[in-house]
Homo-oligomer: A and B are copies of this chain.
Amino acid sequence: MLEKEILNTEEKILEAAKEIFVNEGSAGARMQEIADKAGINKSLLHYYFRSKEKLFEKVFSITFSKLITKILNIFESDEDFFVKLEKFIENYLDILFKNRFIPMFIISELNKKGNNIAVTILKSSNIDFSIFVNIVQKEIRDGKIKDIDARNLFINILSLCIFPIVARPLIEEIIFEGKKNNYEIFLAQRKDEIFNIIKSTIIKI
């Protein structure tokens, strides 16, 4: 049961639902389990959110926008591009580290076939990628960075930051034979590695 702060019933449900959905996925989550975790009756779940689908919709929507907001905004300050980049990587890795299972949850749900609510939410979210492209192109015009493809840059950054978190069980086992601590230490050191790689792709020689 979750009771960190004084949460009203709706908040308690959303907290509990988030945890269950993130851990079990939409198909694996059980309404009873969510009710139990929220410390309430199952009927009350349906009183607040008519169906499992509606509850999932809400949870996914909130979780998704929380994470996505953090991605696109950070590059919007007036600082030096390399400083922004370094700050972003550090911040973002930190967020990912503290929310290990969120990216997996989102990516996993987005990949499900059929009438996919997650995809619908993604589409209706209208993320403006051109902001990032414009920032990058301005840097290029100003001669601060190489003439690179903003899309590749974006994908490279996300790949190097997110994949090691998402594929953690696999990598942890392959490389560290399951020793959890080792991987955490290793990940912390990767900040520089990632920054240097990205820097080398955009720096002018």
A residues touching B (Cβ–Cβ < 8 Å)?
23-25, 27-28, 101, 104, 106-108, 110-113, 119, 122-123, 127, 129, 149, 151-152, 154-156, 158-160, 162-164, 166-171, 173-175, 178, 186, 190, 193, 197, 200-201
11 contacts between A and B (CB under 8 A): A27-B27, A28-B28, A101-B111, A106-B170, A107-B166, A111-B166, A123-B178, A129-B175, A158-B171, A159-B164, A163-B166
| A164 (CB) vs chain B CBs: closest residue | B155
Asked if A159 contacts B163 (CB within 8 A), the reply is yes
- Neighbouring B residues of A158 by C-beta, 8 Å: 163, 167, 171
Report the copy number of this chain in the oligomer.
Answer: 2
Report chain B residues within 8 Å CB of A166.
107, 111, 163, 166
Task: Say what secondary structure dominates the interface of chain A.
Answer: helix
Q: Is the CB of A25 within 8 A of B23?
A: no
**Given pairs A25-B25, A122-B170, 12 additional interface contacts (CB within 8 A):** A23-B113, A25-B27, A25-B112, A27-B28, A101-B111, A108-B108, A127-B173, A129-B174, A152-B190, A152-B193, A155-B163, A200-B201
A170 touches B104 (CB 8 A): no
- Are B113 and A108 neighbours in the complex by a CB distance under 8 Å? no
Name which residue of chain B comes closest to A26, CB basis.
B28
- What is the CA–CA distance of A122 and B107 in the complex, to the nearest angstrom? 21
Does B167 contact A156, Cβ atoms closer than 8 Å? no
Give the docked Cα–Cα distance between A107 and B172 (Å). 12
Determine the distance from Cα of A111 to Cα of B27 in the docked complex, in whole angstroms: 15
A160 to B156, CA, bound (A): 6
A203 to B200, CA, bound (A): 12
Give A193 to B202 CA distance when docked, in angstroms. 12
Bound CA span A113–B112, Å = 19
Across chains A and B, which 3 residue pairs bring their CB atoms closest together, nearest first? A27-B28, A159-B163, A110-B169
